[in-house]
Structure 1
Amino acid sequence: MPTPPPTHPLRWALAAAVLAPILWGVSWIGITEFMPAHRPVYAACLRTLPIGLMLLACVRRLPTGRWWLRAVVLGALNFGIFYALLTVAAYRVPGGVAATMGALQPLMVLALGIPLLHIAPNGRHVMAGAIGIAGVSLLVFSPAIELDAIGILAAVGAVASMSAGVVLTKRWSDPDVSPLTSTAWQLTAGGLMLTVAALAIEGAPPPPTHHTFIAVLFVGVVCTGLANWLWFVGLASIPAARASSLTLLS
């Protein structure tokens, strides 16, 4: 009996990139149900630093040379700034509204990718951008919907931060740094930034509860650690513009 041909690696990468935003979308439930109420920076810290340190212990490798700065920059864009703003948005606007703001990401990635990644825009890119702008415009300017301005601005800021992170992740891709190692470095860097910001902005940390444990396991391990490892696996093999369109699945 002939051996079936192996699945093309690109299919696995695409499957990983599809599953990641689905897990991100599920995290909205965990954030609103189990994270400390009205402590968005601590909530963001809980989902990043514990799993970042766990992954760092697994890979047993620290950045070297220019990767120290890259880990800090990517950790800030993909996790520190992104999750802080995303958590603010989660507390202030419905998940569907925030997801609509995410429709701007393909356009932002394209705008940054043209000079940094030399992306050649095509009809699909323009169509994705137009759909994103149309969706956001219909939502923001609808008289039937009352929106929280801070929540909307936080959602847009989170999308902009992640868009920059996607582009720079592609620009700085390195075959010597695996997706798991990159995830560990970035989560740890972003989590440390969030810890400092939480202490400065929100004061003493909230007392731990069983909800905190659930949040770390569900939102941190599954919807952050696993999801972002899958995302970086996919991003390593598929174009940034194509990957950004998959975030609409969240």
Structure 2
Amino acid sequence: MAGFEAPPPGETDFGFTPYHRALWQCGRCRHIVNVHAMDLEGIYDADYWDRTYGGTKMAETFERIMSLPPEKSDNRARVERVDGVARAMASLPAPGDLLDVGSGLAVFPAAMREKGWSCVALDPDARGAQHARDRAGVQAVAGDFMRVDLDKHFDLITFNKVLEHVLDPVAMLTRAAGFLKTNGVVYVELPDGEGAIVESAGREEFFVEHYDAYSVASLSLLAVQAGLQVDLIERVREPSTKYTLRAFLVRPGIAG
């Protein structure tokens, strides 16, 4: 449906040579796949971290995002929605235990901590985990979620724009279910390819580092394949203009 011979405007140049990729969309579920032969496995190495967050960049970006007014902040809108819906779904009289997988800048666990949640930020890079401790003021674990040993269960496990970056999102969601408390909730946020493609195939929802861009149908199928049940899916246009899908998932039989 669309092809690229060079990175579109705004995409990080990872130095792929040659650069060739195409977007394919399922005619039935409207899911979109990035099709190419470029190896993405090494793009999040130490060099990427240094170029993206080196020096004071990570702290400065964290402070800038945390200081945005609510009407201009994707993160504040996300926090308000997740806090309210997850507490209601999990029947929590007060904020509970949260695991944020792929925490990155840690702005989400930082703002959830302000709401009263007990947060653990998990990031594959030790420097990201240390940043979460120092700046977000939360517990943090450095490691691969598929291998790390967690010694507790959680009321809420969140994946904010994470699963589009992994080859096997089903396996990651399946593992997450094993760390849920009985009435626990998994929150998933993904690029809405079905919505974004109407505007442009060059949008960030389809950048090379995303294996997939989702539809309401394909996100629902992802949950089912992971042994989870969809309680709520929402399609939103964020203050940043990103097209986004939000989903709240539970174990089968738990949804109200």
TM-score by length of 2: 0.28
Q: If the length of structure 1 is used for normalisation, what is the TM-score?
A: 0.28
The structure where strand makes up a greater share of residues is 2
More helix by share: 1
